[in-house]
Homo-oligomer: A and B are copies of this chain.
């Protein structure tokens, strides 16, 4: 493979849009509404993975029985709470410029998110992505992150080799799914994880946010 085979696959929340903390608050409210007390930092460290897996793992950790009905109820309440917070969500610094740069350089790129399209639509609107953009959501795959399906499906839609894909995300679940997909994970601090956590999960490089990545894009193959 050469640099010409390169493609970029982006996580959405915390990577292109500044929405992680709103998702965390929405999960916290959904859990409290059902009488499930869970410290917020534990929610933060799970966000980004599949919503179903997320709720099952959290409920198991606190020793609470979970049924498919409870998991469904939590996801519905999270979606409701999040829709009320979406007005605070903005693109992260440099996100729109970074995507414009890749488009101009004819480097294929896609978005792959563990969220459903019903939640992701707010973020996609605020980014203003073209209708032709490859966007893979929870609705398109059998398993979300940390399984590799979202990234593999995104590369396939781009007609790109996953092994030459740069997979950009803010959570350890992105980095883990990138390794399981055999792509190259690149971490961003903009979702609130520490640099060390992302590196230990397999990030080949960590930047602050999309603006910082764009300034250093030659390091990871996105040549101007």
Cα distance A195–B41 in the bound complex, in angstroms? 13
Chain A contact surface mostly: helix
The interface-forming segment of A23-31, A106-114, A139-147 is: A23-31
Interface size of A in residues (CB-CB distance below 8 Å): 29
**What 8 A-B pairs have minimum CB-CB distances, sorted nearest first?**
A194-B194, A196-B196, A21-B40, A41-B192, A194-B197, A18-B39, A41-B190, A44-B192
B-contact 0/1 string along A19-59, CB 8 Å cutoff: 01100110011001000010111001100000000000000
Q: Closest CB-CB distance, A93 to chain B, in whole Å?
A: 6
At the interface, yes or no: A185 with Cβ under 8 Å from chain B? Answer: no
How far is the CB of A185 from the nearest CB of chain B, in Å?
17
**What does the 1/0 interface line of A177-216 toward B look like (CB < 8 Å)?**
0000000000001111111110000000000010000000
Q: Which A91-132 residues sit within 8 Å CB-CB of chain B?
A: 92-93
Residues in A lying within 8 Å of B, measured CB to CB? 14, 18, 20-21, 24-25, 28-29, 32, 37, 39-41, 44-45, 88, 90, 92-93, 189-197, 209
| Contact between chains at B209 and A39 (CB < 8 Å) | yes
Copies, count: 2
For A209, the chain B residues whose CB sits under 8 A away are: 39
Q: Are B28 and A88 in contact (CB under 8 A)?
A: yes
**Partner pick for A90 among B37, B189, B194, B196, CB 8 A cutoff:** B37
* Known contacts A41-B192, A92-B39, A192-B41, A25 near B29 by CB under 8 Å: no
CB contact between A192 and one of B189, B190, B192, B195 (< 8 Å): that residue: B192
Query: Which of chain B's residues has its CB closest to A193's CB?
Result: B194
| CA distance in complex: A90, B41 (Å) | 13
Whether B90 pairs with A190 at a CB distance below 8 angstroms is no
Q: Which residue of B lies closest to A199 (CB)?
A: B196
Q: Which residues of B lie under 8 Å from residue A32 when comparing CB positions?
A: 88
Q: Which of A20, A21, A29, A196 is the most central at the interface, judged by chain B CB atoms within 10 Å of its CB?
A: A21
For A14, the closest partner residue in chain B by CB is: B41
Residues of the B chain whose Cβ atoms lie less than 8 Å from the Cβ of A193: 194
